[in-house]
Chain A
């Protein structure tokens, strides 16, 4: 069964460093998402992406964050200058369509720890 994959599974970085989290969505999906979950808190939406553009973003997704689909398979989330509060589990998801009925399929997550 097709699945969303994410690398790395764990990342430790120093405050102020740039990190890139990578995701490979399901191959025929056109819509891509990033969510995050700070320990003990809710899973929060960050951004959705379609046709090489951001479709929607949350207040969390400020200028420190960017997303890119550098080739036909990868979808990346970049944090330019990490802060302690960026420590969280980051989930990538993809769906065939954008309509509300569409299922979003999630990857296993990347646990980011900023020291």
Chain B
């Protein structure tokens, strides 16, 4: 079974500061890992995903995440926060190597960006 833990339900940063949202996963098989973002009154939008290959994954809006197998982590970062980054962010895991489609989500992290 897979599980995801996001450390910190709320993260607050100043505009221009580094954004770091933490995600740790548990999976009995090599996982596929995803970050989704949800803006108010909108659906979940894919930011980036890791499946195989390069462990540093770049996504939309300047975000990136690094898969660290030894630490079972997939933290999301952005060098410089923008006001428009304020949203809720979800980390999710999926079984790798099979056709199972289910995503297992973390509890979400609300990012607030102060001017």
Contacts and interface: CB of A to CB of B under 8 A. Distances in A.
B100 A106 contact: no
Contacts of B98: 100
A98 interface: yes
Interface residues of B, number: 27
Question: Among A42, A56, A102, A108, which residue has the most Cβ atoms of chain B within 10 A?
Answer: A42
B13 interface: no
Interface stretch (A13-21, A43-51, A65-73): A43-51
A55 interface: yes
Contacts, number: 68
Interface of A: 3-4, 6, 31, 33, 35, 41-45, 48, 55-56, 58, 91, 93, 95, 98-109
Given A3-B43, A95-B101, 12 more contacts: A6-B43, A33-B101, A43-B44, A43-B92, A43-B105, A98-B99, A100-B51, A100-B96, A100-B99, A100-B101, A106-B43, A107-B43
Interface of B: 32, 36, 41-46, 49, 51, 90, 92, 94-108
